[in-house]
A and B are shown apart, each in its own frame.
Chain A
Amino acid sequence: QKEVEQDPGPLSVPEGAIVSLNCTYSNSAFQYFMWYRQYSRKGPELLMYTYSSGNKEDGRFTAQVDKSSKYISLFIRDSQPSDSATYLCAMSTGNQFYFGTGTSLTVIP
Chain B
Amino acid sequence: GAVVSQHPSWVICKSGTSVKIECRSLDFQATTMFWYRQFPKQSLMLMATSNEGSKATYEQGVEKDKFLINHASLTLSTLTVTSAHPEDSSFYICSAVWGREGTDTQYFGPGTRLTVL
Contact = CB atoms under 8 A, between A and B. Distances in A.
Interface residues of A, number: 22
Given A42-B111, A43-B93, A88 B103 contact: no
Contact of A49 (B34, B105, B108, B110): B105
B43 A43 contact: no
A32 B72 CA distance: 29
Contact of A92 (B34, B91, B105, B110): B105
A46 B107 contact: yes
Query: A interface, by DSSP: helix, strand, loop or mixed?
Result: strand
Contacts of B106: 34, 46, 90, 97
Contact of B43 (A31, A34, A99): A99
Nearest to A100: B43
Given A99-B43, A99-B44, A32 B111 contact: no
Interface string B80-117: 00000000000101010000110111111111010000
Interface of B: 2, 4, 6, 34, 41, 43-44, 91, 93, 95, 100-101, 103-111, 113
23 contacts: A36-B108, A41-B91, A41-B111, A43-B108, A43-B109, A43-B111, A44-B44, A44-B95, A44-B108, A45-B108, A46-B106, A46-B108, A49-B100, A49-B105, A51-B101, A88-B43, A88-B44, A94-B103, A94-B104, A97-B106, A99-B43, A101-B43, A102-B43
- Lowest 3 CB-CB distances: which A-B pairs, in order? A43-B108, A101-B43, A43-B111
